[in-house]
Amino acid sequence: MSSKPVYILGGYQTDFARNWARENKHISAMMREAYEGSLAVSQIEPRDIQSAFVGNFAAELYCRQGHLGAFFVDFDAVFKGLPTSRFEGACASSALAVLSAMAHIQAGWYDCIAVVGVEQMKTVSPAEGGDFLGTAAWYERESAGIEFPFPKLFGKLGDVYEERYGLDDRHLARIAAINYGNAKNNPNAQTRDWFMSYDHACQKGRYNVPITGRIKVTDCSQVTDGAVCVYLASEAFACEYANRLGQTLETIPRIAGWGHTTAPIEFAAKIAESEGRPYVLPWTRKAVLDAYRRAGIRDCWDLDVIETHDCFTTSEYMAIDHFGLTEPGQSWKAIEEGVIEMGGRLPMNPSGGLIGCGHPVGATGARQLLDAFKQVSGTAGGYQVDGARRAATLNIGGSATTNVVFVVEA
Amino acid sequence: MERSIQTVLVLGASGTIGSLAGGLLAQNGFRVYFLSRHTAGSLKGLERAIAQARSEVIARNIICGDYDGLLAEGCEKADWILECVAEEAAVKQAMYERIEPYRRPGTLVSSVTSSLVLEDLPKGRSSDFQKHFLSTHFYNPPGKMLACEICGQSRTDPSVVDFMADFLESRLRRVVIRVRPTAGFAGNRIAFLLFAWITELAEVYGVEKMDYLIGPYTGRIMAPLATIDLVGLDIHQAIIQSLQKHTSDFLHHKLVLPDYVRRMIEAGHLGRKTREKGGFYRRLESGKYEYIDPKTLDYIPSFQPHVRFVEEAKQLIHLGRYWEAFDTILRAEGTEADIVKQILSAYLAYSYGLVGEVTEPSVGIAGIDKVMSAGFNWAAPSVLVYMLGGREKAAKLLSGQGFEVPAALQKDTACEQYPFNAGKYFPAK
């Protein structure tokens, strides 16, 4: 990457199994816990932080609260007057906050930025929450009057695969089982104590209810409350920080590459656009290739681990070929050969992903970046991929409308 | 000796803990015999296990039957016999006598008891039985409460306890707490003393007021008297009586069962299990609650208690400002503040005071920390010390409330660690 490097100094994720409405907590309490936890793990000092960028999708709907950046200044007396901003791009909200923070650091505006991703979703019924999520699509055309618009859209993604390449739902069940299985090793994963098996994921019944089309409950990511705070820094600051910790700059993970594209918001338009082309979602593929190019890597086999957006099993199925693990339409091969499993050639979602770890919409991009940081710094604990030095993330907003990819290395 | 567990026999599978602990085993791929007096009871247990897993596929791993039909087969096939029958020594001992002829040498046998004298239970059984006998005290419901206290008796082979601790941790995802074989082990010993104390205070200040003052904001997911309703007043009584009989310590005089609680039990106000009659609480059709008046045993409507420092603390917790909330509590004055400080102090004094008696001294407060958070959903004692501002402030609070500061608190370092994710134990309620 020709532009100035941006470093990741660590961060903290709240326990995604918590229900903050049941705890009677304000959304800012979640942000505060993420922030305070991140100070404790990263040994950043409050005075180091020059700005805070908050990624959030729809706090106005879920919590009747906007203007989230303003809450950050309440977290410490030294933050009075601190410049803060809030970013929205559906499920990719905090990835956009990261991109903007990178740009500000590269432009020399700031040396150390706190990026907070946050979403509180358990404040409303599943039906109401499903309707709120529908605003991430073209609401008038794709969501109005539909109970769960996104399962429907991502069910259609599976249908497109089936039509163009063939799709066996047992491969989707395997994706679900892998993600739930990985989540068991992640102490902050929402489903870590839930039962799941491949057989259960294959079954339809009272405990695995079909939602719409081919999508069953086990194909879906979770409704999650969660926040993440992660620190990005310039080379000068990272150098000083490394010295402070008795480390060298080389040990500090950095964002080596990024990709960012926006596809047409309407799913049907995306699919029409890709008709006759190898990739079902070409703008997602482009974001991946841009990130590879900027990171100076040839292909996915230069990566050690991927944290991808599996809002549904179909989206991870899509990510497998779009990252290049297989030829277009042949994601099933990577699943059958165990490539994406822990111990496989290129593990996907050791954290459990959105299906296993949880999907607090506006926090997911930051969570993925933090997990990439943990992997390449060897601090992922029970879900560490041995020897990982380079990781990629894919965070998508809407029906793969906003696509953000990062490559992180140490 | 090389040990492994493939097949488990659950005795008392019609009960809640038997069926749910057995269900956990089935979820994790083990073959499990669900036995009780009648097959119909075992089948009910199976339904409960399926509901816990939220999946019917676990039924493939479960074989249901009754003692008359499948006891011999189950014992012969089992690598572990998990006994969950009624919490009476005679009932358990009769069951052990019944299974002994069929049990293979080396098969592990564990009881879910925590309140009976473990030493007495396997008396009369073979040496091999006694060597392989221990307690595995699951908390209820095991799908949500991950704590499992474990200990052997004097004749248990230590390697059996080591093996089981590792198995429970690695295969069943339990938070294992190694305890000493004292009545109530660690969790019930501490929690039920505080419950008893609060029932005594409720006689003076009322049920609603006590659960308001010692509510979730003080570091517990559920208020204390509401928790007794959940457990059942009859069970509460049995545990208190066992602790009265088998323990002795500096707070033994607080292990009380007030007369009004006895009268509640006699009148059938046992808590949630007697929904119509209620317990400390009674739920109305409207969804609202009434509270029992300890003096008359009549149910009275809520008077919506409102105490300024409590409301201020809750508002701070609502915003995630936990440390400031506890500072507010510490600065508060008056009868209500004294009650809150007294109970918080008692929790710390008793927990730290029992280090070495209920858990090994070498682990410090860690074992008790684990059982109170993973068994009761209470803030661990060391977390509470952190929230109160550290060891010195906590010691000052204890002294002010007339407690001796336990040595284990004076040298505790766990309370200096940042309490990651501890906010979940402090709902703003």
For the stretch B57-115, pLDDT in tens is: 999 999 999 999 999 999 999 999 999 999 999 999 999 999 999 999 999 999 999 88
Complex-level ipTM: 0.95
Cβ–Cβ below 8 Å for B320 and A32:
yes
Token representation of residue B254: 């607080």
Which residues in chain B touch residue A21, judged by CB atoms under 8 angstroms apart?
none
Question: What is residue A140's DSSP assignment?
Answer: I
Cβ–Cβ below 8 Å for A184 and B427:
no
Rounded to the nearest 10 degrees, what angle do helices A282-295 and A267-274 cross at? 70
End-to-end CA distance of chain A: 15
pLDDT in tens, A195-239: 999 999 999 999 999 999 999 999 999 999 999 999 999 999 999
pLDDT in tens, B309-318: 999 999 999 9
Residue in the structure block whose two tokens are 């499990």 = B32
Beta bridge partners of B83: B11, B111
Band of pLDDT at residue B191, cut at 50, 70 and 90: very high
Which residues in chain A touch residue B318, judged by CB atoms under 8 angstroms apart?
24-26, 29
Nearest CB among B55, B418, B421 relative to A200 is that of B55
CA angle B266, B269, B274 (to 5 degrees): 125
pLDDT in tens, B3-34: 999 999 999 999 999 999 999 999 999 999 99
Residue in the structure block whose two tokens are 């936990």 = B322
Band of pLDDT at residue A2, cut at 50, 70 and 90: low
**Listed residue (A83, A11, A72) closest to A43, CA to CA:** A11
Question: Which residues 6+ apart lie within 8 Å of B425 measured at CB?
Answer: B219, B220, B221, B373, B377, B378, B379, B380, B383
Mean pLDDT of A85-109: 98
Cβ–Cβ below 8 Å for A195 and B418:
no
Token representation of residue B351: 């927990």
Distance of alpha carbon B242 from alpha carbon A257, whole angstroms: 65
Mean pLDDT of B160-186: 97
Whether the per-residue pLDDT at B226 is higher than 90: the answer is: yes
For B83, list phi and psi in degrees, rounded to 5.
-95, 120
Token representation of residue B262: 């006895």
Cβ–Cβ below 8 Å for B55 and A37:
no
Q: How far is A195 from chain B (nearest CA, A)?
A: 6
Cβ–Cβ below 8 Å for B54 and A32:
no
Rounded mean pLDDT of chain A? 97
Which residues in chain B touch residue A207, judged by CB atoms under 8 angstroms apart?
50, 53-56
Residue B115: predicted pLDDT = 86
Residue B1: predicted pLDDT = 65
Reduced DSSP (H G I as helix, E B as strand, rest coil) percent helix, strand, coil of chain A, to 5: 45, 20, 40
pLDDT in tens, A142-155: 999 998 999 999 99
Whether the per-residue pLDDT at A361 is higher than 80: the answer is: yes
pLDDT in tens, A242-279: 999 999 999 999 999 999 999 999 999 999 999 999 99
Question: Which residues 6+ apart lie within 8 Å of A10 measured at CB?
Answer: A38, A41, A42, A44, A230, A231, A370, A373, A377, A379
The proportion of chain A whose per-residue pLDDT surpasses 90, expressed as a percent, equals: 99
With 0-12 / 13-18 / 19 or more C-beta atoms within 10 angstroms meaning exposed / middle / buried, residue B291 is buried
Whether the per-residue pLDDT at A79 is higher than 80: the answer is: yes
Distance of alpha carbon B115 from alpha carbon A184, whole angstroms: 32
**Listed residue (A322, A310, A308, A327) closest to A280, CA to CA:** A322
Nearest CB among B55, B143, B319 relative to A29 is that of B319
